[in-house]
Amino acid sequence: MKKITLLIIVAILSFGANAQSLLATKYGIKVGLNIANVTSNPNEGVKNIETTPLLGVAGGFYMEIAFNDKWYIKPELLYVQKGASFNYDYKHKWDSISLNNVNNLDAYATTNSLKLAYVELNPTISYKASDKLALNFGPSVSFLINEDYKFNEKISSNDTPLNAVEPTPGTYESEDLDVSLNLGLSYYITENFLVDARVNTGLMKVGTVNKITSIEEHGNEKKEYNYELNNKAIVLSFAYLF
């Protein structure tokens, strides 16, 4: 996949260099707001997570390469913040040595914060419907450069367990690469200054949230609360072309 991505970058740059002799190529910068969230595919028998969007920044370099007066390719190389806050509940059976008949199956509520930072390549195809409006679509390839995952939990059942041993915390296992699809539009305030809006939909797993605990069903076996996450976002940005 990394080799394919490298070939895409080389092809875009080569095309841009060749296109300069035929049609005007513009270069610019782009900065905006990324309203990020995640979708989740839970393990069988596990209730899905509840998510809250994360606000992040998106910015970097931008180009417009014209095929003709209607069709363009708009390569972008951006720094993008993604992620979400989310909650899930789980149950845990404590190992109790008490001789009393106590209920040692407790319910817990968790809060999770996931912040991801990517370097993102967007070889966007654009159709200019008028002098002011352009419709955009294309793939997006993102490389993970930083992650920050925080896990907290609190007991939500009424009884405090006796002789309890704390359960293990939740973990997050990340993927280095994300591939997604961009759909959106651009509005040209002037010839060189534009507003851009798009929806970014992840096409592959970017990470897995895991929580292993003991449960009452079928004895005292382990159960894994497992959630496979995909990125999604609404991106609002401004671009200036030199």
Compute the distance between CA of residue 49 and CA of residue 37 in angstroms, rounded to an integer.
Answer: 12
Compute the distance between CA of residue 171 and CA of residue 123 in angstroms, rounded to an integer.
Answer: 34
Region 219-230 average pLDDT: 81
Region 100-110 average pLDDT: 73
pLDDT, residue 103, reads 59
Q: What's the domain range around 87?
A: 2-241
- State yes or no: pLDDT of 208 exceeds 60: yes
Give the CATH number of the domain where residue 189 resides.
2.40.160.20
Compute the distance between CA of residue 10 and CA of residue 135 in angstroms, rounded to an integer.
Answer: 25
- State yes or no: pLDDT of 100 exceeds 60: no
Compute the distance between CA of residue 67 and CA of residue 16 in angstroms, rounded to an integer.
Answer: 10
19 torsion bin: left (phi>0), alpha (psi -120 to 50), beta (else): alpha
pLDDT, residue 162, reads 52
User: Which residue type, as a one-letter code, is found at position 80?
Assistant: V
- State yes or no: pLDDT of 17 exceeds 50: no
Closest CA to 203 of 183, 177, 184, 180: 180
Compute the distance between CA of residue 20 and CA of residue 66 in angstroms, rounded to an integer.
Answer: 9
Percent of the chain with pLDDT over 70: 79
pLDDT, residue 22, reads 57
pLDDT, residue 11, reads 52
Tokens for 3?
């080799």
Question: pLDDT tier at 99 (50, 70, 90 boundaries)?
Answer: very low
pLDDT, residue 85, reads 97
Structural domains counted in the chain: 1
Residues in Cβ contact with 176 at an 8 Å cutoff, skipping those fewer than 6 apart: 143, 144
The torsion of the CA quartet 43, 48, 50, 54, rounded to 10 degrees, works out to 40
238 membership: H or E segment, kind and range: strand 222-241
Compare 36 and 222 and report the one with higher pLDDT: 36
pLDDT, residue 106, reads 80
- State yes or no: pLDDT of 93 exceeds 90: no
> What's the pLDDT tens digit per position in 133-169?
999 999 999 999 999 999 999 888 766 655 555 667 8
pTM, two decimals, is: 0.84
- State yes or no: pLDDT of 13 exceeds 90: no
∠ CA 55-60-61, rounded to 5° = 150
Question: pLDDT tier at 220 (50, 70, 90 boundaries)?
Answer: low
- State yes or no: pLDDT of 219 exceeds 60: no
Tokens for 103?
């209920």
Name, of 99-113, 186-200, 222-236, the range with top average pLDDT: 186-200
Name the average pLDDT for the chain. 86
- State yes or no: pLDDT of 114 exceeds 50: yes
Cβ neighbourhood burial of 111 (10 Å; 0-12, 13-18, 19+): middle
